[in-house]
Each structure stands twice: as structure tokens, then as C-alpha cells.
Amino acid sequence: MIRERLDPAAEVLARAEVLADDLEMRSVRAFKEANPTALVVGHMPIYAPRPLFEALGCLPVAIFGAGDQLDIIRGDSYFQSYICHIPRSTIELGLSGRLESVDAMVFPSICDVIRNLGGMWKLLFPDRLSIYLDLPQNFDSAIGGRFYAGELRRIARELEKKGAKPLQAEALLLAIADENRRRELITELDALRREDPSRVRASEAYTVVRAGAALTARAHADLLDEFVTAAKQRHVRHFDNVRVVLCGSFCEQPPLALIRSLEKAGCDIVDDDFQLGWRMIESAIEVRDGEDPVDALARAYIEQGRPTASRYIADEIKGADLARRVRRLPADGVIFAAASFCDPALLDQPMLEAALRQQNIPFTSFKFAENTGQFQVIREQAGAFSDAVKLWGANV
Amino acid sequence: MAIAATDVSKDRSQARQKRMIADHFDKLEHAKETGKKVVYTFVPGNLTELIDALGMLPVLPEINALQSGMRKKSAEYIAEAEKAGHSEDVCTYVKCDIGMLKSGNVSPTGTRLPPPDLLLLSYTGCFTFMKWFELLKQEYNCPVVMLHVPYQADGMITDEMRRYIVDQLEQVVIPAMEQVAGKKLDMQELEKRLALSAKAEDDLVAVWESARHRPSPIDGYFGGVYYIGPIFSAFRGTEDAVHYYRELREEVTARMATGEGPTTPDGPTTNEKFRIVVEGPPNWTHFYDFWRMFSREGATVVASTYTRVGGLYDLGFRHDSRRPLETLADYCLGCYTNMNLPSRIDLIEQYIKRYDADGFLINSVKSCNSFSVGQLLVLRELEKRTGVPGGFVESDLVDPRYFGKANIDNRLQSYFQMLEGKKRKGAQ
């Protein structure tokens, strides 16, 4: 009670923490008990068309691996040492029965690891549906857009065969509206921490957003709304920190303690690419008059997709978007934090660094794994970076 | 000590191939003087017939990288790229290519490679290719055109996938290529090349099939990488390729008639003891050492998946000149690396049975997640389904730091001893 009186956001944050840490999938099991005929659709990072699943009466569940919360025993026996960590913990979650309530798993086409994990899922869990989501790399609505809309309809048909409700335009319109409200609130949350990082720490924003992994868009929007409202009422103590953008946590997520370590090292993370999927489509999904909402969902991905390591950037210098964001926020520098052995993020990094160098934007970099347990070196590195930026700014 | 490529036995067809490659690099070196446009592109899902029909010359960075590996140049190129900020965790083909570029872009044959007039990003089954050309785009002032090939996630090619590719070819890829070439595509020229491709493909399949014979007259992995050289690279759809594959087929048929085994670095094999199927790319920095670890033990590779990354002709696919764009789409979609894991397992199982293999070996390379992720499950599944013992070694494509010679040799010796024991037990 004292904690809540001191911090009006404490109670909602505590609820969010429980949801974000729910490796046992208690909330998903509760959903299944309340809705025995509805399907649960798990999806790997970074992006999946969640409104489509909701319109089919399914509960979408974002699977981010197991972080640092689970000892990996069987999962390691399926992967060589040079493969990133997230497929190990995801297999561990599956083999340990924690994903038993997940009827279908969606594997988006973001890298070779997640793609092949989809094939492994087919073999290891033959009674569940394993769906590959082939996201287009051609961004012409008439070519890539049509292909992607076809993919969405194919996935809907597969889920219908498994027992999902038939896809109705009205249901998808409602789901898109719910998704848009969620996104508006995430945007508001981002603005709040950008304007006053002491009011909402990045680690808190991360938790409240992550809490939505197994919630419907509407339930998640309500939680976000509650948190944003409470955070606005906080009494804030300001810190003399540097403002940084954190970049590279493309799919595998860093442990929360790592984010907190960066904050303790004097870095206000004013923008990031944690849990990219929630912000993959920039601005609201608009359904035009007379447009099939499936086509609108596809068009939003084609036309409003955020530049990421998994998306081919044809017309622009790679990294230009990151440099623009740093200037716009504004931020003092960039921290690259990529998961070890993450091909897309690590192959992108030299191009992003070049773009930052050209603009005299300071940066530093390190790698992590989702189960990294030692933060001292990272904290020292981030602390030195923060001090250097404060002392010398762009001349670091 | 590693043996240089020049100290090993070679077939007549290999000499022809060497001349073809030298001639191609010579043309590339003089491309700017002759006005030939140069297209950098990738092996799996390549559009060689289209490039050739527009009078352009292809450069294949993966092949340059693997050649650099064989010629002991890759270590310095990789170091160069890592010095420039590329992670030690990522694909060494990419780093080798970037390092080669930073070191003057001298081709493996010693000629200077011209910069590209076009980066043709047509890739099949490997996301790293996309990043690779994004990186090259920063280095060269030339257009990039992408052909996105969907993945056969459910083990089949659908009309939607084919249409998506044909749409891209018609509306994006061919117009971009025509602009660079400075001329319109003549469909008859394309059809002519597709027909030549199919002829060469027939002969290549006959070569693969010869491995069913005992002893196998070919090595379908170490020898096989030479056999795929022309058809996976600059020569598919050319008369040169047709002649090469006819000659190769004749050589193989002659060896079959005399009961001769494949030519190895130390001469013809005379003692086929084990018939092996191999999954995964070879290591290139110690290619001949690796080969000798097999040939010394009388192990012949009767089939391999790596030799199918640029086309699964033995499953029946042929380029079809009557439907030029659709056939290019089917080709891109059908390469081995575009098959999902269950289909890959089915294929290896089929090879083990069809070629009557005693064992199968997985060479898991650090650089290639497309191949490597799931290979430990592939091992388990295949042993379960076939009862044939599997072996597993780890190395890399072109980074010599990841080839532990003694370790791999020990593992292979143990594996072959185990196969020997199993054979003896079976005979009793």
C-alpha cells in the first residue's frame, strides 16, 4: 500500500510484471478454460498479423523464448553452439509442455533460424499446426501486397480448418480498430518516456508492453491506458542521464535486468527496437471505403512497415532512418545491443554504424543472449559511454 | 600440410571446366573495354539464362569466396572485414567477399573483377543473401533489383508463389535488367538458352544416377562440386555447358564400364568400402584434406544435398523453354535450400535408400544457418527412419579457424570404424 501511495503506477506495473513473466502461460490456460472452443495462436518475433487471429476468435500469443527464467536442458541438444538462444528456449518451452495450450504456432520469415524452427516444430509437434508466414520483400501493393493478402487468407483458411471461427469482414474491422487503439496507447507511452524519461523508465515501458503478449488488443489497451494515466500522476525525480536509442534487439530479447543495468549506468533509453512487432506498422491501419480489411492489413504492412533488419530497404541508405530518429527524438547517442549469432542484426550493424558516423552520432556496442546473467561489464561499458557523451558529445 | 589444388589428379572434363572459367574471368576483366555489362548475383535461384540473353556477364560472389577459401586467401579477407567492423558471428562468405573487395577485388584466378553494373538480388532459401547485397550496395554506385522467392514451407510450390515471382520478373526484374543492358529482352533468345539448360541438366542427372552403380564411378560431394560448377554458375544455358556435361557423362560411363571408381586427389578409387550420403556444404579451406579423410578410408559419397542447392534436377525439374518465366520461377522455388526441414529429411532418406548408402554424414557449417539450424534433428530423424548410422562434424565454409583438422579426422575415423564393425557384424 505504501508503495502504491508513493507511486500511483505501482499497482498496474505489478500486474504487468506478472503477465510479462508468465512462462507457465497461466493467463493462456485461463483463456482456454473460459473459451474451450477458441484456438490459441502462438507467434514468434518479430511481427504477426494479430488482428487477423483475433478476428478468427483466436488468442494471439507472442512467444519471445524463455529469457533468463528457464534452465535449458533439452533445447540445447537440438542446436549447435553457434546458433542464437531463442530457438533453444522455445524448443524447451515446447518440450516441457508449457506451450500445450498453444494450438498453432506462426513462424514469420525473418531469418533462417526462425524459418527452420518452423520446420522443426512440424516434426516435433505433429499434432499442432505450424504455419510459416512468408512476409513479402516486394513492396509494391499490386505485387507484394497481393501476395501477402493471399498469405493472410491462406493462414485464415488453415486456422478455420483447425477450428477457428470463419473469417468475417466485420470481425476483422473490429479487431483492426482494437489494434489501432493499442498502438495509439503504445505511441502515447513512447511519447511520455521520450519527453520525460524519468517519468517512465524504459524497463517499465518494456514490461507494460510485454504484458500484452498473451492479451487481446482490447485488454492490452486497457492496461496501457491505466499505466499511462497513472504515470502522468507520478512525482518525478530527475536524473542527469544521457539520452540513448537502443538498437539491435531484433527478435531475441535482452533480460530485463540488462535494460535496468543500462539505466543504472546513466542511460535514458528514449527509443528502442524491443518487441518490434508492436510497432512494426507505423501509424494506424486504415481501411478504405469498400476495401476488404484483409487487403488493408496487407497494405499496412507494405506501405507503413518500419525499416528493420528483416525488411529489404531498396530506396534509402541503410541506417538513414536510425540517424533521423536520433535527431528527431533527440538522443545523444546509440547503443547497439544485438543477440549473439543474430545474423540480421549483426549484418545490419556495420551499415547502421556507417550512417551514424556520417552524422557524427556517437555509438557503442555489445552483444547479449536472452539468458545473459552477468551485467557488470555491460554496465561499465554503458557508464563509460554515458560519461564520454556527457563530456564530449558528438566527439566521442 | 595442405596440398595445393595443382598437385591433385583431375579428369579431362575438369580441364575443360578450368578453360571455361578462365575464359569467363578474362571476359570479366575486359568487360569495360568490350562494353559488356556485369551483373553480380547468387547461385541458388540464379537467373543465368536471363542474364545471358541480355548479353550481360554474371559474377557470383559465393563462388569467389569459396575459391578464395580453396586458394588460402579467405583468412586475410575475413580479417580485413572484421577489422572494418563485421561481427565474428556472421557468415564468412560475406566477410570474405567484403574483404576481397577491400583488398582490390582481384578474382581467384588473379584477374581484376569489374564493379557491378547491376546487383541482381535473386536469392533462394538464405536471408543472408539479402543482407549481403545491402552491404554491397553501400560499396558500389549501381542499381539493385530484388527477386523475392517465397519459401516452400509446406513442401510444395503453389500457383500463388509462381505468380508472385512471374509478376516480379515481368514488372520489376526484367525492366531493370533491360535498362542496364540497354536493350529489350528477346524472348526467343531466352527460350534458346532454356532449351540448352535442359540438355545439360539431362546429362547431369545421368551423372548423379551413375552413383547407384557399384562401385560408384563418381564422388557425389567432393567430385560433385566440380560437376555442378558450370551449371550452377555462369554457364547454364550455354553451348559450353552442354559440351561439358556430355563429356563428363561419357567419362563417367566409361568408368562405370571398367568398374573404376571416382577420381580423387590421389588418383582413381579402387576400393569402395563405404557408400555415404552427405548433408551440408563442404569446408573450402581444407577441401582436399577433408576429401582425403574419406578417400583414404575407401568412403565414396554417392549423393549429397549441397550439390542440389542450385537445382534439384534429379527430382525431375528441367528448364522448359515453352513457359520461360514460369520455368524460371519453378527453378528458383525448387532449389534444395528452399525446401523445408521435413522435405529435406525426406530427400536425404530417399538418397540413402536409392543409392544404397552405408551411412550418412552431416557437415554442419557455422556460417550457414540456412543449412545448419535443425541438422541435429535431421540426424535423429534419419537414423530413426532408416536405421543407417549418421555422423556429425562441424566446420565452416571459408574461415580456417573453424576447421579442426585433427578433431574432424578423429571423428571420421571413429565413424568409419563403426561402419566397418556394423558391416562385419552384418556379414556374420
- pLDDT at res. B10: 67
DSSP one-letter code for B112: B
- pLDDT at res. B428: 78
Residue A62 and residue A163 in contact, taking contact as beta carbons nearer than 8 Å: no
Task: Report the gap between the CA of B33 and the closest CA in chain A (Å).
Answer: 30
Residue B367's nearest CA partner among B41, B45, B69, B46 is: B69
Look at chain A and count its residues.
396
Which residue type, as a one-letter code, is found at position A236? V
- pLDDT at res. B2: 37
Which B-chain residues 122-151 have CB contacts (< 8 A) with chain A?
Answer: 126-128, 130-132, 134-135, 137-138, 144, 146, 148, 150-151
pLDDT above 80 (res B417): yes
* Residue A284 burial (CB count, 10 A): 16
Residue B20's nearest CA partner among B244, B264, B246 is: B244
Work out the burial of residue B138: count CB atoms within 10 Å of its CB; fewer than 13 is exposed, 13-18 middle, 19 or more buried: middle
* Cα–Cα distance for residue pair A156/A191, rounded to 1 Å: 35
DSSP-derived secondary structure for B191-212: HHHHHHHHHHHHHHHHHHHGGG
- pLDDT at res. A317: 83
Residue B85 and residue A350 in contact, taking contact as beta carbons nearer than 8 Å: yes
Element (H, E) at A59: strand A59-62
In degrees and rounded to multiples of 5, residue A102 shows phi and psi of -90, 115
Residue A335 and residue A364 in contact, taking contact as beta carbons nearer than 8 Å: yes
* CA-based end-to-end distance of chain A: 45
Angle, alpha carbons B354-B356-B358 (nearest 5°): 140
* Cα–Cα distance for residue pair A351/A345, rounded to 1 Å: 10
Q: Which residues pair with B57 in a beta bridge?
A: B38
Q: Select the residue of B148, B171, B369 nearest A113 (Cβ to Cβ).
A: B369
Which residue type, as a one-letter code, is found at position B332? C
Residues in chain A closer than 8 A to B375 (CB atoms): 80
Residues in chain A closer than 8 A to B150 (CB atoms): 134, 147
Residue A16 and residue A35 in contact, taking contact as beta carbons nearer than 8 Å: no
Judge whether A367 is closer than 8 Å to chain B, CB to CB: yes
DSSP-derived secondary structure for B144-193: EEEEE---BTTSS--HHHHHHHHHHIIIIIHHHHHHHHTS---HHHHHHH
- pLDDT at res. B123: 86
Q: Is B263 helix (H, G, I), strand (E, B) or coil?
A: strand
Q: Select the residue of B85, B134, B377 nearest A78 (Cβ to Cβ).
A: B377
Residues in chain A closer than 8 A to B131 (CB atoms): 309, 343-344, 347-348
Strand residues in A230-362 grouped as ranges (E): 242-247, 267-272, 333-339
Residue B123 and residue B145 in contact, taking contact as beta carbons nearer than 8 Å: no
* Cα–Cα distance for residue pair B287/A171, rounded to 1 Å: 59
Which ranges of chain A have pLDDT less than 50? none
- pLDDT at res. B8: 58
**What's the grid cell of residue B351?**
538418397
Strand residues in A98-165 grouped as ranges (E): 104-108, 129-133
DSSP-derived secondary structure for A357-385: HHTT--EEEEEE-TT----HHHHHHHHHH
Work out the burial of residue A377: count CB atoms within 10 Å of its CB; fewer than 13 is exposed, 13-18 middle, 19 or more buried: exposed
Question: Which residue from A minimizes the CA distance to B364?
Answer: A80
Edge-to-edge strand order for the sheet containing B144-148? B57-59, B38-40, B118-123, B144-148
When scoring A44, A77, A116, A157 by the number of chain B Cβ atoms within 10 A, the one with the most, hence best to mutate, is A116
Per the CB < 8 Å rule, is A78 touching B376?
yes
Residue recorded with cell 483447425: A162
Q: Dihedral sign, CA of A95, A132, A183, A269?
A: positive
* pLDDT tens-place string over residues B94-111: 999 999 999 999 887 788
Residue A24's nearest CA partner among A97, A86, A88, A73 is: A97
* CA-based end-to-end distance of chain B: 40
Strand residues in A116-226 grouped as ranges (E): 129-133
Residues in chain A closer than 8 A to B172 (CB atoms): 138, 140, 143
Judge whether B239 is closer than 8 Å to chain A, CB to CB: no
Task: Report the gap between the CA of A349 and the closest CA in chain B (Å).
Answer: 8
* pLDDT tens-place string over residues B110-133: 888 999 999 999 988 899 999 999
Residues in chain B closer than 8 A to A147 (CB atoms): 150, 160, 163-164, 167
Question: Which residue from A minimizes the CA distance to B337?
Answer: A112
Per the CB < 8 Å rule, is B366 touching A122?
no
Residue B27 and residue B57 in contact, taking contact as beta carbons nearer than 8 Å: yes
Share of chain B above pLDDT 70, in %: 98
DSSP one-letter code for B278: E
- Which range has the worst mean pLDDT, A380-394, B312-326, B384-398, B410-424? A380-394
Crossing angle (nearest 10°) for helices B92-102 and B74-83: 90
Residue B328's nearest CA partner among B202, B244, B237 is: B237
Q: How many Cα atoms sit within 13 Å of A257 on the Cβ side?
A: 12
* Cα–Cα distance for residue pair B288/B266, rounded to 1 Å: 10
* Cα–Cα distance for residue pair B189/B238, rounded to 1 Å: 11
3-state helix, strand, coil in chain A (%, to 5): 50, 10, 35
Q: For B377-389, what is the mean pLDDT? A: 97
- Band of pLDDT at residue B1, cut at 50, 70 and 90: very low
- pLDDT at res. A34: 94
Question: Which residue from B minimizes the CA distance to A346?
Answer: B87
Q: Select the residue of B89, B146, B168 nearest A346 (Cβ to Cβ).
A: B89
Task: Report the gap between the CA of B87 and the closest CA in chain A (Å).
Answer: 6
Q: Is A106 helix (H, G, I), strand (E, B) or coil?
A: strand
Q: Select the residue of A80, A115, A154 nearest B394 (Cβ to Cβ).
A: A80
Residue B242 and residue B196 in contact, taking contact as beta carbons nearer than 8 Å: yes
- pLDDT at res. A394: 63
pLDDT, chain B, mean: 95
Q: How far is CA A87 from the centre of its chain?
A: 16
Residue B165's nearest CA partner among B49, B327, B329, B339 is: B329
pLDDT above 50 (res B205): yes
Per the CB < 8 Å rule, is B374 touching A351?
no
Residue B40 and residue B22 in contact, taking contact as beta carbons nearer than 8 Å: no
Judge whether A341 is closer than 8 Å to chain B, CB to CB: yes
Residue A268 and residue A239 in contact, taking contact as beta carbons nearer than 8 Å: yes
Residues in chain A closer than 8 A to B381 (CB atoms): 123
* Cα–Cα distance for residue pair B338/B161, rounded to 1 Å: 12
Q: Select the residue of B146, B154, B369 nearest A83 (Cβ to Cβ).
A: B369
Per the CB < 8 Å rule, is A136 touching B148?
yes
Which A-chain residues 117-136 have CB contacts (< 8 A) with chain B?
Answer: 117-120, 122-124, 132, 134, 136
Residue A107's nearest CA partner among A270, A251, A276, A318 is: A251
Residue A62's nearest CA partner among A82, A86, A38, A79 is: A86
Contacts of B45 (CB under 8 A, 6+ apart): B122, B123, B124, B125, B147, B149, B331, B332, B335, B338
Judge whether B17 is closer than 8 Å to chain A, CB to CB: no
3-state helix, strand, coil in chain B (%, to 5): 55, 10, 35
- pLDDT at res. A250: 87
Strand duo B274-279 + B299-304: pairing: parallel
Contacts of A305 (CB under 8 A, 6+ apart): A139, A280, A281, A282, A311
Which residue type, as a one-letter code, is found at position B212? R
Residues in chain B closer than 8 A to A344 (CB atoms): 127, 131
* pLDDT tens-place string over residues B43-90: 999 999 999 999 999 999 999 999 999 999 999 999 999 999 999 999
Q: Whole-model pTM above 0.90?
A: yes
Peptide bond into B175 cis (omega under 30): no
Cβ contacts below 8 Å, chain A against chain B, sum to 155
Residues in chain B closer than 8 A to A118 (CB atoms): 153, 340
